[in-house]
């Protein structure tokens, strides 16, 4: 990638002090999906694994040809986790320790918004995903996920409340759903949340990582390792696939997930997409269908952190869904969004995913058959763990990082 990077390489200190330094990405000649080498050049952890279909991993690279820039709006955030746009163009976001903030498009950060329930702020726990009611302009309702502490353990919970008129507090905060069982651990909470077109909430959970809890991803009697669909009152949404099945939770929408930190609806097809962490390798991008089993831990393209195989070392099995794309080695995919703006037409309907260990934003080009046909890495020179990315009301992309930055990515 060709970058006018001198602003960062010669004036890194200015970035820290002003929070307004920018860099540009200038494309060369127009390129089409399939014309460039894959962006991943490292050796896979599992070189003997065979993809289920061509293009399931290490697809050909693509390169943005429209000049664009990434601008650091602020570095004053503390472990931001989830971000979404407000109707007036400002951004509201969560900080992992338990605070909400509002940030203007010029980078001014509000004081902490009070009134939220206590969070279990250990390990991967804390205040997580956030979304606004589709009628927020009139009802000011906010919905969020968090790891809830109790004497029995902790779990992924969903809460709602009303943003006060002065924007200083959340009024009437109420927990509406808990993904039981509780567990005394600090890993794999999932935690993304968004509304579907029917006005229901889609929530993701993790299977809490440990070998003791891992099998619950396959259990229809557990809230762990699932995509969940509920009403704004926390009840199972009408039409859920397991509503009439005995010994199955009616709120479940899909299962067999490891740790889902990305959810987004395709702007054209309306399909729900998710991403989830693999262990060492095997990070997945899935198109979610109601009632389907996505395989963890029975099948995976990853290996244990120890280097051992997972279970019986199976990658494909009848009745278990294949990922539409996977990464090996891991990039640690987190928050994601489809691009629907007009600033950069070649990005239209592309998927943008923040990555943690990968330290870039992955741009994926999808074809009409839901196959990934191109991959690009944006902001890879920034050495940031990109936790979430959303599209603003102005058509730009906004991304937050674990290190506390908020980026605006837009046409130069």
Render each residue's pLDDT in the chain as its tens digit; 412 residues: 223 322 333 333 333 333 333 344 433 333 455 589 999 999 999 999 999 999 999 999 999 999 999 999 999 999 999 999 999 999 999 999 999 999 999 999 999 999 999 999 999 999 999 999 999 999 999 999 999 999 999 999 999 999 999 999 999 999 999 999 999 999 999 999 999 999 999 999 999 999 999 999 999 999 999 999 999 999 999 999 999 999 999 999 999 999 999 999 999 999 999 999 999 999 999 999 999 999 999 999 999 999 999 999 999 999 999 999 999 999 999 999 999 999 999 999 999 999 999 999 999 999 999 999 999 999 999 999 999 999 999 999 999 999 999 999 999 9
Q: Which segments of 91-151 are extended strands (E)?
A: 91-95, 99-103, 127-132, 141-150
Domain assignments of the chain as residue spans, ordered by start: 3-411
Number of Cβ atoms within 10 Å of the Cβ of 68: 21
Find, among 326, 341, 323, 387, the residue nearest to 361 by Cα.
Answer: 387
The CATH code belonging to domain 3-411 is 2.120.10.30
Find, among 381, 272, 402, the residue nearest to 324 by Cα.
Answer: 272
Number of Cβ atoms within 10 Å of the Cβ of 315: 20
What pTM, to 2 d.p., does this model score?
A: 0.94
Token pair of 199, please?
């006005």
Question: Which are the catalytic amino acids?
Answer: 188
Consecutive H or E run containing 7: helix 6-10
Tell me the C-alpha to C-alpha distance, in Å, between residue 207 and each of 149, 195, 210, 281. Answer: 17, 22, 8, 17
């Amino acid at each position: 990638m060709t970058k006018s990077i001198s602003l960062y390489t010669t004036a890194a200190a200015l970035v820290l002090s002003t929070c307004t330094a920018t860099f540009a990405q200038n494309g060369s000649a127009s390129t089409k999906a399939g014309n460039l080498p894959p962006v991943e050049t490292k050796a896979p952890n599992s070189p003997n694994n065979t993809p289920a279909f061509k293009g399931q991993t290490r697809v050909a690279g693509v390169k943005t040809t429209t000049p664009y820039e990434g601008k650091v709006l602020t570095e004053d955030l503390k472990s931001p986790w989830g971000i979404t746009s407000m109707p007036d163009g400002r951004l509201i976001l969560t900080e992992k320790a338990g605070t909400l903030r509002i940030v203007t498009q010029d980078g001014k950060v509000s004081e902490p918004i009070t009134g939220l329930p206590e969070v279990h702020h250990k390990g991967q726990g804390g205040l997580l995903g956030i979304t606004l009611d589709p009628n927020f302009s009139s009802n000011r309702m906010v919905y969020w996920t968090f790891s809830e502490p109790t004497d029995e353990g902790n779990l992924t919970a969903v809460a709602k409340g009303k943003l006060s008129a002065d924007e200083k507090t959340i009024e009437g905060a109420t927990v509406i759903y808990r993904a039981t069982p509780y567990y005394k651990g600090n890993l794999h909470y999932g935690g993304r949340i968004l509304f579907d077109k029917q006005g229901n909430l889609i929530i993701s959970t993790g299977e809490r990582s440990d070998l003791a809890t891992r099998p619950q991803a396959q259990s229809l009697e557990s809230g762990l390792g699932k995509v969940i669909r509920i009403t704004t009152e926390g009840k199972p949404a009408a039409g859920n696939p397991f509503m009439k099945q005995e010994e199955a939770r009616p709120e479940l929408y899909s299962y067999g997930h490891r740790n889902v930190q990305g959810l987004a609806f395709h702007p054209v097809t309306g399909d729900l997409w998710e991403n989830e962490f693999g262990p060492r390798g095997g990070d997945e991008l899935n198109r979610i269908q109601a009632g389907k089993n996505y395989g963890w831990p029975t099948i995976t393209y990853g290996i244990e952190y120890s280097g051992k195989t997972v279970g019986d070392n199976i990658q494909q099995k009848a009745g278990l869904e294949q990922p539409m794309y996977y990464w090996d080695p891991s990039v640690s995919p987190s928050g994601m969004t489809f691009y629907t703006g007009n600033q950069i037409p070649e990005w239209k309907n592309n998927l943008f995913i923040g990555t943690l260990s990968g330290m870039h934003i992955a741009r994926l080009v999808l074809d009409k058959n839901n196959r990934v046909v191109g991959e690009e890495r944006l902001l890879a020179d920034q050495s940031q763990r990109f936790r979430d990315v959303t599209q603003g009301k102005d058509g730009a992309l906004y991304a937050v990082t674990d290190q506390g930055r908020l980026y605006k990515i837009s046409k130069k």
